[in-house]
Amino acid sequence: YKRNKIDTSIVNNNNKIIKNFVCYKKHSDSIKKILNEIIMHKFAIELTNEYNENNPDFKFKVPIIYNIYFSIDPTDYITIYIEMEKLNEIKWNTIKLNDKEIINSYDNIIKYLEFLRANGLFHNDTHRDNLFFINDGDYKMGLIDFGQSSTESLHASIIGIKIKNNNNNNNK
């Protein structure tokens, strides 16, 4: 599918942005992939809220999805518009941290990603462009782009392992 860049002119006064994805109708796999990204994003919001309740000192933020719109034009294209929260990002190359703050930040990133994995969500695309510091009240870091994310069962099938059911002692 064709994934358009965010048009910053679409940012409105309510601190929202609109991302748009354009797909050819006959490419249903592209549409499924975008819908999967939305589902994984919503799942990440729920898990992140739970994580933050137990970790008030170093909170993470996943942008809220407000609305999803679909547009079908006569030329066989579907455009999916996702209206979501705009975070106040601080770019990695502009932030000044001492050694202790760097270690603390990475420790918290690892702790957060382990929490997501322990609850069945695999981000699968964690890098500098998707994980960033934010200046947004209580929140310290943001995580975006759940297009490569998968759930525990999907992730296990992709890497070729069988997940044991811990509630059933018959599984060896």
Is the pLDDT reported for residue 170 higher than 50?
Answer: no
- How much is the pLDDT for 9? 40
- How much is the pLDDT for 14? 66
Q: How far apart are CA 128 and CA 167, in angstroms?
A: 38
For residues 87, 134, 44 and 125, what is the CA-based torsion angle, rounded to 10 degrees? 100
Confidence tier at 10 by pLDDT (50, 70, 90): low
Structure tokens at 59: 């909170």
Structure tokens at 37: 């990204």
Handedness of CA 64, 65, 67, 73 (dihedral sign): positive
Name residue 72's beta-bridge partners: 78
* Secondary structure (DSSP) of 5-39: PP-GGG--TTSEEEEEEEEETT-HHHHHHHHHHHH
User: pLDDT tens digits for 87-139?
Assistant: 888 877 788 888 998 888 889 999 999 999 999 999 988 888 888 888 777 77
- How much is the pLDDT for 48? 95
Confidence tier at 16 by pLDDT (50, 70, 90): confident
